[in-house]
Amino acid sequence: MGEAKTLPKTMSVDEFIEAVEPQSKREDAKLLDALFRKVTGEEPQMWGPTIIGYGCYHYKYESGREGDMCRSGFSPRKAKHSLYLMGRYCDEATGKKVDGLLERMGKHKTGASCVYVNKLADIDLAILEEIIGECWGAMNRKYPE
């Protein structure tokens, strides 16, 4: 069985954000970092080369594969910001509530556990803050520390 590729790194989150290009994505990354810190109460850590993660949980699949991953986070990618909101898929009730909030949030696309946003100006940050909180709560219920 292969090892997890996304592992905690010692790289500075602030240094990573300062290197994000273009500047508009860097400014968005600073806002996202402040928002995730506010909602989670956690200091961020780099996961892999590009994911800024908050908190940590241990997972174990029925296949026997297990590992650790951030509870929530984001990656400021050139095309779109990837927002990792795992609570959306680990709890059905949370998923339904978040889907309703996403309908009102603004321009985005979704994946299994990610929400993709081109720029923060396209969305309502108050709704994103609520979504992060809902997903954070679901992860904490499913994976208590």
Q: Is the pTM of this model over 0.85?
A: yes
Question: Domain spanning 13-142 has what CATH number?
Answer: 3.90.1150
- Provide the pLDDT for residue 8: 65
Which sequence spans correspond to the domains of the chain?
A: 13-142
**Residue corresponding to tokens 């997903």:** 135
pLDDT tens for residues 43-78? 999 999 999 999 999 988 888 888 899 999 999 998
Q: What burial class does residue 139 get, using C-beta atoms within 10 Å of its C-beta: 0-12 exposed, 13-18 middle, 19+ buried?
A: buried
Q: Can you list the alpha helix ranges (DSSP code H) found in the chain?
A: 13-18, 23-40, 87-90, 92-105, 125-142
